[in-house]
Structure 1
Amino acid sequence: MKFDNIIIGGGLSGLTCGIKLAEQGRKCAIVSSGQSAIHFFSGSFDLLGQVNGEEVSHPIEAIKNLADTHPYQRVGIENIGRLAEEAPQLLNRAGLKFCGKADQNHFVLTPMGVMKPSWLTLDDFTCFDQKHSFPWKKVLILNFSGFLDFHTLFVKDGLKKFEVDSQIKNIAMKAFEAIRKNPSEMRSTNIAKVFDKGDVLDEFVKKANLLSEGFEVIILPSVFGLFNKKVVDELKAKVNKPVVLVPAIPPSVPGIRSQMLLSRRFQELGGTFFMGDNVEEGYFENNRLMDIRTNNHGDIKLEADAFILASGSFYSKGIVATHDKLYEPIFGLDIDGDTDRSQWLDEKFFKDQPYMHFGVKADSNFRALMKGQAIENLYVAGSVLGGANALKEGSGAGISLLTSLHVVEQILK
């Protein structure tokens, strides 16, 4: 099978590459081994939250303080500013609407009841301007009886720091009795499926309005709108008080919806999605990747003019570490990381761990290196790149989105 472009990895980075290329008329395929990290999406995409342990208020300005090897620096500050404006537009075309801007972080309420800086926040959730205050002083934290994935006491304890008087209440509804019988079934996605049916929301709203009398705002777990985003909008329109949704323990309802919308956008543009398939090997000739072979396709070769490796980092097994070696498992590409295992970790757990910076080596045009040479048509995007500790910096989604858009520009030149 022949394509213009093949992307290896179906997470945020791979889907961004695929959508952008397909929008430009390219015939594209995505090969994805399975569930992506978008299923754990908290509702917010971070651009840059910290540099050298210091919290960042203005991400674009703060990028200049990052190391030269950081993916943002390699993309270029001017390009980052431009691409950071393009990214939410691409997401919006897929049906995902966000608040936020790249030149100044806003804040979102976390399941721990603290304010976390962020770049883009899905419109299910509430964006706040201040970190050390909460707009309401009398708060109802409302949960579903038997739902254990929303830790209301953490939220309440966190809000105490803002001098907020909060009270926890539970709602019991007949519609949830069946899934309550088995604790493993009382998950956010199963609750959301009940609300998606359309005849339960009004009953819930009546109970919520009754319980919220005397309160200024209601805090709820984000368990609305798995397949139908209108459920979230109807909820906020029908409840008498402002509603603040807070992420629950994954699987994430807005995350799964986001994955479905991005995948649908790619396929509606003509893209081919090979889900549940693994790339086994590639055939190289004259410093070019000519084709790949996958587990499901057997002897059928997948050919393309250009390939993008967006396979993720350690979590997605885009990079693998064993007791004695560190490697990229598909093609054996060069790794930007210390070969001495004793240098992978810092004994102080909360320090900036060296292994978090490891990734596939790439040249200035983000082409993968193998034995020191750039593969002319194999590009690298997203968290499989080295040079950043996305967890410590709060930069993971930004790196995935913006390096992907940048790589697509290199291909389209």
Structure 2
Amino acid sequence: MEFDVVVIGGGLAGLSCAIRLAEQGKRCGVVSAGQGALFFSSGSLDLLSRLPDGTPVTAPLEALDELARQAPRHPYSILGADTVAALARDSQALLARCGIPLFGRGAQNHYRITPLGTRRATWLSPEDIPVTELGQTLPWEKVLVAGIEGFLDFEPHLVAGSLATEQGIEAGAAYVHLPALDPLRNNPSEFRAVNIARVLDIAKNTQALAEELNRLAGDAQCIILPACIGLDGPAPLEQLRAAVGRPVRLLPTLPPSLLGLRIFQALRQRFCRLGGVFMPGDRVLKAEFDGRRIAGVYTRSHTDIMLRAQQVVLAGGSFFSNGLMADRDRIYEPVFGADVWGHADRGEWGRAGFFEPQPYLQFGVKTDHRLRALLNNEPVENLYAVGAVLGGYDPLQQGCGAGVSLISALHAAQRIALSLKETA
């Protein structure tokens, strides 16, 4: 099978890179082993929330010079502040072309309301969740936080208590009971956000939910629900808002995350509409080298047919998705054997405190300034590493995971498009 580009990994980084290349007419194949981090995501995307020394960041683009001083191996530091700023704008434009409505801008973080009712700084958030600008509070004096009876992944009283304490608004809590959900409720393992949404998205059940919310809401100016409606599009939530006659906002739940899943679905649909080949449930097993180049790769489903490509993108994620692996004495990248940042001493991989920054989160593939993966300290000519597989940063402590995925992906797409043009 012949491609211009093979992308290993079907998450935010892999699909974003593939979409940008497909928009330029390149034939792309994406090999996706399974569910990526988007399925476990809040739906909000971070650019930079905190510097390595713990300093909070309100203006991400203005903090890039200090980030480079503190973390010279960070992917943003490798690419440079001007490149990061330009690609942050390009990332928002790409997401908009995929039909993903988001609130936010790179020049200034905002606060999103978390599933605990607290506030967290972020870059971009789905328009359906409650957000505020920095230094502001929610625009309503009285809200209802409505849970779903028997749904254990969302606690409305906890959310309401946090909203009252942190924002000084009157927040009530209640549970919705809908007979249509009883078959799911009887099986706790099936009573999850995505399955609930499949029921609530049916028009008659959306109307029944609206009637129950109107009974509970009283004079509340806004209703906050767990994200259990609108799985395949905005129509059910729009119907619900019209029926209750007031704003309805959603909060993410425990995985699988409906808000994250919607982003994945939009990216995948855009890629396939552009003619891309998406190979789900497959895994790259090995690569064939031609000197300092990758000739192609073999997958679990194509063990005897090489996927040939002029360029290859490694976007397989970190330890979570087996893009990086560890045994007792080493960290390694399993497909190409690329060079990896990491401590030789296993005792330095982690810290005892659960909430302390963990060193292993900064382990990842080494690259040159163009994000080409290194092998024996030399770049592989046609292998780019993007997203969570990269080393040099802590996506959790620094709040930059999605930003690194998008910006590194679009940078790689730029370099690949230029290379393919030069060899055409």
Aligned partner of 1:170 in structure 2 is 175
Letter aligned with residue 213 of structure 1: G
Deviation at 1:274? 1.1
Task: Name the structure 2 match of 1:58.
Answer: 59
Which residue of structure 1 aligns with residue 245 of structure 2? 240
1:328 and 2:328 are equivalent in the alignment:
no
2:86 to 41, 59, 82: 82
Q: Does 1:99 align with 2:100?
A: no
Alignment partner, residue 315 of structure 2: 310
What percentage of aligned pairs have identical amino acids? 41
2:13 is aligned to 13
1:46 aligned residue: 46
One-letter amino acid of the counterpart of residue 237, structure 1? A
The residue correspondences of 1:138-177 to structure 2 (distance < 5 A) are: 138-161=142-165, 162-177=167-182
The code of the aligned residue for 1:156 comes to A
Q: CA deviation at 1:209?
A: 1.8
Equivalent pair of 2:145/2:157 in contact (CA under 8 Å): no
2:131 match: 127
Matches within 5 A, 1:162-201: 162-201=167-206
- State which drifts further: 62-71 or 96-105: 62-71
The C-alpha deviation readout for 1:51-109, integer Å capped at 9, x for no partner, is 12121110100121112211011121111111111112111111111110000001111
Equivalent residue for 2:77, pick from 65, 68, 73: 73
Note the residue ranges of structure 2 that are not aligned, 5 or more in a row.
419-424
* Local SS of the residue matching 2:254: coil
Amino acid paired to 1:107: Y
Name which of structure 1's ranges 115-124 and 134-143 shifts more when overlaid on structure 2: 134-143
Distance in 2 separating the partners of 1:163 and 1:316: 41
TM-score of the superposition, structure 1-length normalised? 0.97
Q: Measure, in 1, the Cα distance between the counterparts of 2:109 and 2:19.
A: 26
Q: Is the 8 A contact 1:225 1:254 kept in 2?
A: no
Number of the residue aligned with 2:29: 29
Alpha carbons 1:115, 1:131 under 8 Å: kept? no
Contact 1:43 1:125 in 2 (8 A): no
Q: Report the alpha carbon displacement of residue 160 of structure 1 after superposing the two structures with TM.
A: 3.0
The match for 2:280 among 275, 285, 299 is: 275
Q: Per-residue deviation at 1:174?
A: 1.9
Alignment partner, residue 256 of structure 2 = 251
**One-letter amino acid of the structure 1 residue matched with residue 173 of structure 2:** I
Structure 1 counterpart of 2:241, which letter?
A: K
Is 2:214 aligned against 1:209? yes
Q: Are the aligned partners of 2:365 and 2:389 in contact in 1 as well (CA < 8 Å)?
A: yes
Letter in 1 for 2:81: I
Which range moved further: 383-392 or 65-74?
Answer: 65-74
Name the aligned partner's letter for residue 44 of structure 1.
S
In 2: Cα distance, 1:114 partner to 1:36 partner: 26
Residue of structure 2 aligned with 1:113, choices 113, 117, 134: 117
> In the aligned structure 1, how far is the partner of 2:136 from the partner of 2:354?
27
CA RMSD of aligned residues (A): 1.4
Q: Is the 8 A contact 1:279 1:293 kept in 2?
A: yes
Give the distance between the partners of 1:321 and 1:381, measured in 2 at CA: 20
Shift of 1:133: 3.6
Structure 2 CA distance for aligned equivalents of residues 183 and 355 of structure 1: 34
- Count of aligned positions: 413
- Alpha-carbon distance in structure 1 between the residues aligned to 2:61 and 2:232: 34
How far apart, CA to CA, are the structure 2 residues paired with 1:132 and 1:114? 13
| Cα drift, residue 194 of structure 1 | 1.0
Query: Where does residue 342 of structure 2 map in the other structure?
Result: 337
CA shift, 1:138, in A, is 2.4
Farther off after superposition, 235-244 or 172-181: 235-244
CA distance in 2 between partners of 1:322 and 1:141 (Å):
45
Deviation (angstroms), 1:10: 0.5
Instruction: Give me the TM-score of the superposition, normalised by structure 2.
Output: 0.94
For 1:53, the aligned partner's letter is G
Are the counterparts in 1 of residues 106 and 123 from structure 2 also a CA contact under 8 Å? yes
Shift in Å, 1:190: 1.2
CA–CA distance in 2 between the matches of 1:174 and 1:200? 9
Quote the Cα distance in structure 1 between the aligned partners of 2:178 and 2:351.
49
Q: Deviations over 1:294-322 (max 9, x none)?
A: 11112101100000000101111111122
